[in-house]
Structure 1
Amino acid sequence: PKATLRFKDLVPVLYQEGRYQGDPVTLGVGGFGRVELMTTLNHGKYYAVKRVSKKHIVAKRQEEHMLFEKKILKAIQCDFIVLHAAFKDTRYIYMVMEFCGGGEIWTKLKEGRFDEQIAVFCTACVVEAYAYLHKKSIMYRDLKPENLMLDVRGYVKLVDFGFARELVRGEKTYSFVGTPEYMAPEIIKNQGHDFAVDFWSLGILIYELLVGPPFSSSEPQKIYAKILDGVLKYPPYLSEAAKSIISKLCPRPGQRLGNTKNGIKDVRHHWFSNMNWHKLRMAQLDAPTVRLIRKGPCYINFDRFPQDQTKTEEEFSGWDRDF
């Protein structure tokens, strides 16, 4: 249970490569901070712990996002989402998550595009997470391969809720948030957006899993221009069903699959015709993604990162009083 986990009971997992090295395992590094592999003192269970500098949060004006991420963490009980607990000290905020030993979908994609069976399974897991979040009036707004993790059985879990937001049905928000390649046109044009943006990003994810990024450039402005042009080129090897769901997830918001009268049911009944959704929810399916997972030490599916020897300054403004 979430309430029984205490931060002082967690210790870093250390690398052992031939001879003892003693370096803590870093699972990921980003603008937000670092994710490290931890275990309980009795070596019972592994966790991934995201450590974010409080100074950095204040400098980037992300206090509200971090507080909302904590709020979601406390409220969510979904097998396709990995948030577990949260702690703080004078320097850092710590988000404790289930450790997904299969690694990032992004890392697997670097080795080549997925076949359709694997893409269907990955996307179905995302659809389940979306269904749960949207029912709770939460938009995710940061779907991308880097935020999708594989557990050891090959099931896909959502991580990083920094851009998530509660929204009353029928209302819109005007925040400019997200990852450029995955932003819906209405966010770029500042027309106001709602849950429909999650379905746009689902279409972009399917395209990237099967083909590669549809809109890419080293300059965000060029990415935005390509998205607004709205031209998706479908290679000949793409199935008709895949082309169909992508095209139906990526038109104008009011016509987007998942955002019409039947909601997410329309998404489930489209490309996923052979999916047993009940068995997926109960984790009773054999995941085709297991063949993407390397066998070895628990951290073998993650890239190696250099250690961070710096220590951030303390932060006492009090924004995290209730964290």
Structure 2
Amino acid sequence: MNDETIIKPREHRRIGKYHVDGILGEGAMGVVYAGHDPDIDRQVAIKTVHKHLIDASGDGDWLERFAREARAAGRVLHPNLVTIFEYLQQDQVPYLVMERIRSTTLEDRLAAPDGLDLQEVLSIMAQILDGLACIHAAGIVHRDMKPANVMVTENGTVKLTDFGIARITAMDKTGAGMIGTPSYMAPEQFSGGDVDARADIYATGIVLYELLTGKKPFEGGGIEALLVAARSENVTAPSQIVPEIPSALDDVVLKAMNADAKDRFASAADMRDALVAALPTADGTASIRLSTSARPKRDQAKVGSNTMLSRMSSQTLTQVERHLIDKIGPMGRVIARRAAASATNNEELLDIILKELTQEDERHEMHASLLRLLAANVGPAPAGISDDNLHHLIALLKPLLGPISTVLVKRHAAKSTSIEDLVQALSDTLNDPAEKAGFLKAAQSDQRPHPDGKGI
């Protein structure tokens, strides 16, 4: 699917006064651009919504409501919130100009092979709750709290994003009036009625459960099954999955996840206090390592360890499903899952999917849109680019970009056809001319062995 919102690579364009330097990320709802404020020489992130979705809404008040929500969110300032600098419109498309930070998402952190110790869990959760307390005090409910909306900077600072405008731009719209991501939605959200800050408390409880155990408390079965599970009180306590977890921490998680809103923590501050009390840092519990062995293993009889289904993030797979559903109807989800379960690389995945389309122009458009989505996949690099190549490029970028380097290298590797293409694509992510030149020189002069016998 083509969209006029997308600014093509190397196309020189401005959004308002801001120079557009490239794309930081793209999803089913919109795009985040790397921008530059020429007035104060500051790097920014510019988030927008796809134009075709705005047009399809058929709602003349859409932009006005978006602006109102965005400006309310922009008035809230806190160290644990991504700061919104400006809201603007251009060609009837809304844009949010935000601080640009070097970070990974909490979703990426959860996908890392190493576990989390309790001290890191405490730090992340305390900052999440501090950020939520701030927006709740301003009368804003996030409505879409999940690991993908939690940014973690290289120094460990946590920043919440997409708060306040989720009611209009949430990535997952599960039905009329229902907004949020089903796995993190409180029972009252499924009805599409009004929600308050306690819905965010519930979602934060789910996030805490996932940080501790490496799994969600309720898995699969569709929205109806999730609702039934969320309303029940039969939740496996985290300590039953990871025995080292203190029982006091079980109490915090289960209280936050209570099906009845009135029995949850009354505020984010209350949950934070309970969490700190459950995780004393002076008696040795904070040094316990939550091993990746506590994380549930996939059923290898159903999912090969090297298939795309085992390597793609759930968010990427969901976006692929949406693209197919939009093009060929409800069978798109089945086709996407079947292709991901059998394909071992991006090209195989695309080949399987594109066979379902009969029109050449449709296949061309779908191929282009799916390639952009698959750039978010952080699985192994395609054939022709060795692990040594990736590790070396990550090492070169880390002093410049921090922990996000690992994600960037693997994302660009997923859509690069050669090591030369990958090096050039990565150099384009660097705005400082001196840093870019230094990176190119180091990468191109490297003589590490390459599968074809050549160096980088």
| TM-score, normalization by structure 2 | 0.51
Sequence identity, in percent?
A: 24
Asked if 1:217 corresponds to 2:220, the answer is: yes
CA-to-aligned-CA distance 1:79-128 (integer Å, 9 cap, x gap): 22112222221153221111121221111111144322112111111111
> Residues 138 and 164 of structure 1 are in contact (CA less than 8 Å); yes or no, is this contact kept in structure 2?
no
Change (3 A) 1:145 1:66: same
State the partner residue of 1:56: 53
Looking at structure 2, the residues matched to 52 and 103 of structure 1 have their Cα atoms a distance apart, in angstroms, of 22
Looking at structure 2, the residues matched to 104 and 44 of structure 1 have their Cα atoms a distance apart, in angstroms, of 26
Looking at structure 2, the residues matched to 191 and 74 of structure 1 have their Cα atoms a distance apart, in angstroms, of 25
Looking at structure 2, the residues matched to 201 and 67 of structure 1 have their Cα atoms a distance apart, in angstroms, of 26
Asked if 1:247 corresponds to 2:254, the answer is: yes
State the partner residue of 1:127: 129
Amino acid at match of 2:116: F
Q: Which has the higher contact order (CA 8 A, sep 6+)?
A: 1
Looking at structure 1, the residues matched to 132 and 247 of structure 2 have their Cα atoms a distance apart, in angstroms, of 24
Range with greater deviation from structure 2 (76-85 or 242-251): 76-85
> Residues 24 and 33 of structure 2 are in contact (CA less than 8 Å); yes or no, is this contact kept in structure 1?
yes
Change (3 A) 1:265 1:94: closer
State the partner residue of 2:97: 96
Higher strand share: 1
Asked if 1:197 corresponds to 2:222, the answer is: no
Looking at structure 1, the residues matched to 209 and 191 of structure 2 have their Cα atoms a distance apart, in angstroms, of 22
Looking at structure 1, the residues matched to 203 and 135 of structure 2 have their Cα atoms a distance apart, in angstroms, of 15
> Residues 54 and 93 of structure 1 are in contact (CA less than 8 Å); yes or no, is this contact kept in structure 2?
no
| Gapped regions of structure 1 (runs ≥ 5) | 1-5, 14-23, 166-173, 276-292, 308-323
Asked if 1:236 corresponds to 2:242, the answer is: yes
Q: Secondary structure at the match of 2:179?
A: coil
Looking at structure 2, the residues matched to 187 and 52 of structure 1 have their Cα atoms a distance apart, in angstroms, of 23
Change (3 A) 1:224 1:301: farther
> Residues 216 and 223 of structure 1 are in contact (CA less than 8 Å); yes or no, is this contact kept in structure 2?
yes
Displacement of 1:203? 0.6
Displacement of 1:143? 0.5
Q: Secondary structure at the match of 2:230?
A: helix
> Residues 139 and 194 of structure 1 are in contact (CA less than 8 Å); yes or no, is this contact kept in structure 2?
yes
Displacement of 1:40? 3.4
> Which has more radius of gyration?
2
| Gapped regions of structure 2 (runs ≥ 5) | 1-13, 169-175, 280-393, 417-456
Displacement of 1:229? 3.1
Amino acid at match of 1:108: R
Looking at structure 1, the residues matched to 30 and 399 of structure 2 have their Cα atoms a distance apart, in angstroms, of 26
Displacement of 1:190? 5.2
Looking at structure 2, the residues matched to 177 and 230 of structure 1 have their Cα atoms a distance apart, in angstroms, of 23
Q: Equivalent of 2:209, from 194, 203, 207?
A: 207
State the partner residue of 1:171: none
Displacement of 1:270? 1.0
Displacement of 1:187? 1.9
Displacement of 1:205? 1.0
Displacement of 1:149? 0.8
- The count of corresponding residues between Structure 1 and Structure 2 is 263
Looking at structure 2, the residues matched to 247 and 7 of structure 1 have their Cα atoms a distance apart, in angstroms, of 46
Alignment of 1:1-323 (within 5 A): 7-13=15-21, 24=22, 26-41=23-38, 44-60=41-57, 63=63, 66-82=66-82, 83-90=84-91, 92-112=93-113, 113-161=115-163, 162-163=165-166, 175-189=177-191, 192-211=194-213, 212-217=215-220, 219-234=222-237, 235-237=241-243, 238-251=245-258, 252-257=260-265, 259=266, 263-273=267-277, 295-298=398-401, 300=405, 302-303=407-408, 304=411
Looking at structure 2, the residues matched to 45 and 267 of structure 1 have their Cα atoms a distance apart, in angstroms, of 36
Range with greater deviation from structure 2 (193-202 or 265-274): 265-274
> Residues 31 and 50 of structure 2 are in contact (CA less than 8 Å); yes or no, is this contact kept in structure 1?
no
Change (3 A) 1:44 1:208: same
Displacement of 1:9? 4.3
Change (3 A) 1:190 1:99: closer
State the partner residue of 1:310: none
Q: Secondary structure at the match of 1:47?
A: strand
Range with greater deviation from structure 2 (88-97 or 213-222): 213-222
Q: Secondary structure at the match of 1:38?
A: strand
Higher helix share: 2
> Residues 76 and 138 of structure 2 are in contact (CA less than 8 Å); yes or no, is this contact kept in structure 1?
no
Displacement of 1:217? 2.0
> Residues 100 and 152 of structure 1 are in contact (CA less than 8 Å); yes or no, is this contact kept in structure 2?
no
